[in-house]
Amino acid sequence: MLSQGTSRTAAWRWLGVVVLLVAVAPIVHRYLVAYPDDQWQVDLEVYREAGRSLLLGRPVYQFETEVPQLLPFTYPTFSAVLSIPLALMPWAVAGWVWTAFQLCLLWVVVGLAFGPLLARAGRFAGLAQGLVAAACVWISPVGENIRFGQVNAVLVTLCLLDLVKGSEGLRVGRFTVRWPRGSLIGVAVAVKLTPGVFLVHLAVTRQWRELRNAVAAAVAVTVATFLVAPEGSLEFWTSALLNSDRLGPNAGSSNQSLRGFVLRLYLSDGATVLVWGVLAAAAAVAGFALARALHRRGDLVGEVAACGLVALLVSPVSWLHHYLWGVVVLGALVGDARVRARVVAAVVGLVLLWVAWPWWGANLLAERSVPVVVARAVQNGNLWWACASVVVLWRLVVRHTPRQSQLVTDRSHSV
């Protein structure tokens, strides 16, 4: 039988879940109930159609969704294999199931990223987790993931879960789930290539066993996918992967990577490549140095946050919904909330992410009364947020946090 204390803890956790559901209700209503049918879960439709392509035997990377979107599948073929269950569901059911799944993953991400803060809440940790998740669900990237039916919550969860819980496993009820540390990062790389920055980080920090596990998992999953879907796999690695135009208009407002910023300067092709290369190299050096410093201090959440920021900055395309890494960054900033400057920085970062800067900037560009330089600055708002986060993490977390042998968290806290 459950003890009275355990029962009360569970009751507070369920109350936290209710708080999250109440907070997300307007967002869900907007994007799943009131949204136009031709714009409903458009990215989820891409994944689902990729799964259907495998079932129907049609080319995975040549098929496009119906008008007006006409979107092709751009992910590794392993993602298409994972999408088969979505293909077996009615379309309307798939959208609701995927949204519920995203919210479950957000709950897990908040539990991991804000672990030290939640541990201070004691038996009220479940309620605190719900309150933090309710605040995070309103940031623009989370809303964009729900709007499009995106996959970023899966990638963030895999990488965060791997580095934060990989050495001890994850307790689920009475059971503890374990895996070789690094292997979940490998699976994330097989789903989408951008988590590959974690492989570089593992090499920089000489985490050779984790790197070996990650590469082995990625290779094993990719080879297995070749056996299941050889034609699609061959086309991805020899053709689709090399065509960045398949991702959409790279110079559009939603591309909040350094390359998107440079493309919007409308320089010559040669100058664009040169400027982007210099900026991306500088961002990579700064970001990996930050991740290495946080790793040395035992700040596992900060380590993941820094790698996520590197992915956002150096990737050729970082759409607004990719900034779901911001939830991890906020958790790394606030820590256990004992340092006022870190709490203030986290709150400011949260508020800034509530604003959809790219869309606001795009609207300002259409206003003749607004100077173009101001509109462009607003248009790149998420990019500035990522750059500022690297600086703030270094100043507030690295420079003012003593080394620790491990992440300070309540190991008994279950996500």
pLDDT digits (tens, 9 = 90+) for 66-104: 888 889 999 999 999 999 999 999 999 999 999 999 999
Strands (E), 343-398: none
- The pLDDT of residue 411 is 38
- Position 3 scores a pLDDT of 60
Q: What is the mean pLDDT of the chain?
A: 92
- Tokens 């909040």 belong to 256
Instruction: Report the pLDDT averaged over residues 189-218.
Output: 97
249-306 pLDDT per residue, tens: 788 999 999 999 999 999 999 999 999 999 999 999 999 999 999 999 999 999 999 9
Residue 414 above 60 pLDDT?
no
Distance CA 395, CA 133 (A): 26
> How far apart (Å, rounded) are the C-alpha atoms in residues 43 and 319?
12
Whether the pLDDT of residue 406 is over 60: the answer is: no
Residues 202 and 276: their CA atoms lie apart, in Å, by: 25
Find the helix or strand (DSSP H, E) in which 139 lies: none
Average pLDDT over residues 209-233: 96
Domain layout of the chain by residue ranges: 4-398
In this structure, what token pair is assigned to residue 47? Answer: 């994944």
Token pair for 380: 């790149």
Structural tokens at position 154: 């899966």
Residues 300 and 407 sit within 8 Å (Cβ to Cβ): yes
For residue 333 the two structure tokens come to 């900033």
pLDDT of res. 4: 64
Instruction: Write down the pLDDT at residue 405.
Output: 41
- Residue pair 287/313 in contact by the 8 Å Cβ criterion: yes
Specify burial of residue 390 (Cβ count, 10 A radius: 0-12, 13-18, 19+). Answer: buried
